[in-house]
Amino acid sequence: MGADKIGYLGPIGTFTEQAMACFFAGKDFFGVPYGDIPALIRSVSDGHITCAVVPAENSVEGSVNVTLDLLLSEEGLLITGEVVLPVMHHLLARQGLRSFKKILSHPHALAQCRGFIDRRFPTAVKEATASTAEAARLVSACGEPWAAIGTEEAAAHYGLEVVIRAVQDYADNETRFVVIGTQPVPPTGRDKTSLAFSLVHDRPGALHGALGEFADRGINLTKIESRPARRSIGYYVFFADCEGHREDELLAAAIEAVKRRSTYFKILGSYPRWEGRRC
């Protein structure tokens, strides 16, 4: 039996690659880089890779919406794990450059470093790329005075210099990554469950009633947010994370009760919760 093929948002040198290496440390696998999240997630659906590691949420910029949307639209996929990494962004450039016309990075990275860029390089154009490592690759290949925001690994891989370290605006910047696969994960006793549901939009107290199903059973919700349901204004999908596994008796009862209240309901996965170990 060969090593598992694990997809990640590439190219080489991304934070997602670091998250993959952290989560699968000690296991037999090899990483397959993908240029964007939709292609990566759909490759799990198509069976080309065993599972995928994708960014899901940042402590500064919030959820990665494309990941949430694809979890809703792609059938047969489940969150099977999570990993939380501290994120330290560096300003990368070709040797000797200290003034830049353009700064490239992933949209979330640019947003996490917005204050730094505006203070130090107020005239630089900010350009979004598919990943921080792709930004480093583009800067390395270009003769223009460009810089990238990315990892130290990306700088080493693409022959760039770390011009300024730790340029993120908030020191406690963290990103949560999720592992997406097709096989359910059995209970471990330290689990988390992710759900998505929609409610009747014009009924007073509908959300209060749904959330009460968890509160009445003493189940802690660790996250709740909404996304447009891609219908008319006023229709939303709620995403919730709660403590426990879908097979736990109390949580199973809460899930059934919320499902009865919902116009749409989907379990996105039950999986071991990340417990803060450092990679």
Question: Quick one: 48 and 112 in the same domain?
Answer: no
Buried b / exposed e over 177-202, threshold 16 CB at 10 Å, is bbbbbeeebeeeeebbbbbbbbbeee
Q: What's the DSSP call for residue 158?
A: T
**Cα–Cα distance between 124 and 228 in angstroms, integer?**
33
The structure's pTM equals 0.87
pLDDT of 1: 53
CATH of the domain at 227: 3.30.70.260
Domain that holds residue 223: 191-272
pLDDT of 262: 93
Domain count, the chain: 3
Question: Quick one: 122 and 225 in the same domain?
Answer: no
Task: Sort strands 51-58 and 4-9 into parallel, antiparallel or unpaired.
Answer: parallel
Beta bridge pairs of residue 240 = 195, 224
CATH of the domain at 55: 3.40.190.10
- Please list the pLDDT of the chain residue by residue as tens digits (279 residues): 567 899 999 888 889 999 999 999 889 998 999 988 999 999 999 999 999 999 999 888 888 989 999 998 888 999 999 999 998 999 999 988 788 999 999 998 999 999 999 999 999 999 999 889 999 999 999 889 999 999 999 999 999 999 999 999 988 889 999 999 999 999 999 999 999 999 987 677 888 999 999 999 999 999 999 988 777 776 889 999 999 999 999 999 999 999 999 999 999 999 999 987 666
pLDDT of 202: 65
Residue 278 lies in a domain: no
76: left (phi over 0), alpha (psi -120 to 50) or beta: left
Instruction: Cite the beta strand spans of 182-277 per DSSP E.
Output: 191-199, 221-228, 236-243, 262-272
Q: What's the DSSP call for residue 223?
A: E
Q: Which residues are catalytic?
A: 175, 177
Q: Which residue has the tokens 């990665």?
A: 64
Q: What's the DSSP call for residue 277?
A: -
Residue 277 lies in a domain: no
Question: Quick one: 8 and 82 in the same domain?
Answer: yes
pLDDT of 100: 93
Question: Quick one: 44 and 177 in the same domain?
Answer: yes
Residue 186 lies in a domain: no
- The torsion angle over the Cα atoms of residues 185, 186, 192 and 197, rounded to 10 degrees, is 70
* Nearest CA-CA partner of 265 in 238, 235, 247: 238
Buried b / exposed e over 115-129, threshold 16 CB at 10 Å, is ebbeeebeebebeeb
Question: Quick one: 97 and 201 in the same domain?
Answer: no
Q: Are 147 and 104 in contact (CB under 8 A)?
A: yes
